[in-house]
């Protein structure tokens, strides 16, 4: 077809159109050269759920494609990820009820299956980066990240428990500790305890801005770690996790964690808090991480399984948006899927 001629009143003097952004979109090669944000497997961390025993592989019903695994299956999963170039993992324990108590003593028990698993993983895959979870809730009969006393979360009484837990995890050869509890002063408590024990090189990936979000449901299903609905126990985590309405408060948390010795700062959730990620990125020289949480992933999976979205396109676009907001590191249940689709 020839060009369509329009009346002069609908045209502009094209000689004046000096800037044409579409020129940088014209071909795939040009678009690649002009791309502002790069997303690769090196930016991703795969969450793993560990269970005791052997031969265990249980799918999380509310997060299809994610499994609770015993160590034998977990080692196979890590090997599969490593073969795809995915080298970073954060591991969470599904602790049986018989190991739980008020003060989370099993968290630093030498026989803890979580600590034993970390040693086995690092012995077999010394080149991987293994990140821990530091909080009381997997080990607490109350299901809270801190110590429950007289119907409240006792911040100061929690810190020594977290410090002892952190040292035990460093001894187990975790590369980085992930304090997810949101107690005031916990980064400093961990850093002092680690240094006193000689673990100067163990890093701290702080959950700097962890919000009291509605999007943690599948994660709590996987670990059975929701707060107990019993008399004298707080029914939610709003007294220590951040108010979803607050953005500036995240900068206060970031400043404190930096001063207390954090090595990386994290925002959780990610997709619904892109503005917070961007804000912290602008105010820190530390690497910024973002946790693309279970509920955010479950929503996308549900839409794709219903045929409303195309997973092959929507999943990487979602991760790219988190990266574009300023995340240097993204913790996501889609990490392995992304790696598979980008493996050469």
Q: Which of 100, 237, 268, 281 is catalytic?
A: 268
**Cα(186)–Cα(180) distance, rounded to whole angstroms?**
10
Quote the tokens at residue 193.
Answer: 């305890």
**Cα(286)–Cα(103) distance, rounded to whole angstroms?**
33
Q: Return the bridge partners of 264, or none.
A: 205
Contact call for residues 70 and 52 (beta carbons, < 8 A): yes
Q: Which of 100, 210, 237, 336 is catalytic?
A: 210
Annotation says 268 is catalytic: yes
What SS3 string covers the chain? CCCCCCCHHHCCCHHHCCCCHHHHHCCHHHHHHHCCCCCCHHHEEEEEEECCCCCCEEECCCCCCCEEECHHHHHHHHHHHHHCCCCEEEEEECCCHHHCECCCHHHHCCCCHHHHHHHHHHHHCCCCEEECCECCCCCECCCCCCEEECCEEEHHHHHHHHHHHHHHHHHCCCCEECECCCCCCHHHHHHHHHHHCCCCCCEEEEEEEEECCCCCHHHHHHHCCCCCCCCCCCCCCCCCCECCCCCHHHHHHHHHHHHCCCCEEEEECCHHHHHHHHHHHHHCCCCEEEEECHHHHHHHHHHHHCCCCCHHHHHHHHHHHHHHHCCCEEEECCHHHHHHHHCC
Count of Cβ atoms closer than 10 Å to residue 68 Cβ:
22
**Catalytic annotation, residues:** 210, 268
């Amino acid at each position: 077809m020839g060009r369509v001629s329009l009346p002069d009143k609908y045209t502009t003097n094209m000689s004046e159109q000096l800037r044409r952004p579409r020129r940088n979109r014209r071909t795939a090669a040009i678009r690649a050269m002009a791309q502002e944000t790069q997303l690769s497997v090196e930016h991703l961390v795969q969450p793993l759920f560990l269970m005791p025993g052997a031969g265990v592989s249980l799918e999380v019903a509310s997060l299809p494609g994610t499994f609770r695994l015993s160590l034998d299956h977990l080692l196979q999963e890590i090997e599969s990820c490593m073969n795809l170039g995915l080298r970073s993992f954060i591991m969470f324990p599904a602790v049986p009820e018989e190991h739980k108590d008020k003060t989370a003593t099993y968290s630093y028990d030498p026989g803890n299956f979580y600590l034993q698993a970390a040693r086995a993983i690092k012995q077999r895959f010394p080149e991987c980066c293994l990140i821990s979870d530091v909080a009381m809730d997997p080990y607490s009969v109350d299901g809270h990240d801190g110590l429950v006393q007289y119907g409240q979360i006792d911040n100061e009484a929690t810190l020594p428990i977290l410090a002892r837990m952190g040292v035990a995890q460093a001894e187990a050869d975790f590369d980085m500790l992930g304090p997810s509890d949101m107690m005031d002063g916990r980064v400093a408590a961990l850093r002092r305890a680690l240094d006193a024990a000689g673990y100067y090189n163990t890093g701290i990936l702080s959950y700097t801005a962890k919000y009291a979000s509605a999007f943690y449901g599948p994660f709590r299903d996987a670990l059975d770690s929701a707060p107990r609905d019993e008399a004298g126990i707080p029914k939610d985590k709003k007294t220590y996790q951040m108010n979803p309405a607050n953005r500036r408060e995240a900068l206060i948390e970031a400043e404190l964690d930096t001063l207390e010795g954090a090595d990386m700062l994290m925002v959780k959730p990610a997709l619904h808090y892109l503005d917070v990620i961007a804000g912290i990125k602008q105010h820190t020289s530390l690497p910024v991480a973002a946790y693309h949480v279970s509920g955010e992933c479950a929503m996308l999976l549900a839409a794709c399984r219903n045929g409303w979205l195309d997973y092959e396109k929507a999943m990487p676009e979602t991760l790219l948006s988190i990266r574009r907001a300023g995340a240097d590191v993204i913790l996501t249940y889609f990490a392995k899927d992304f790696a598979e689709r980008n493996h050469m």
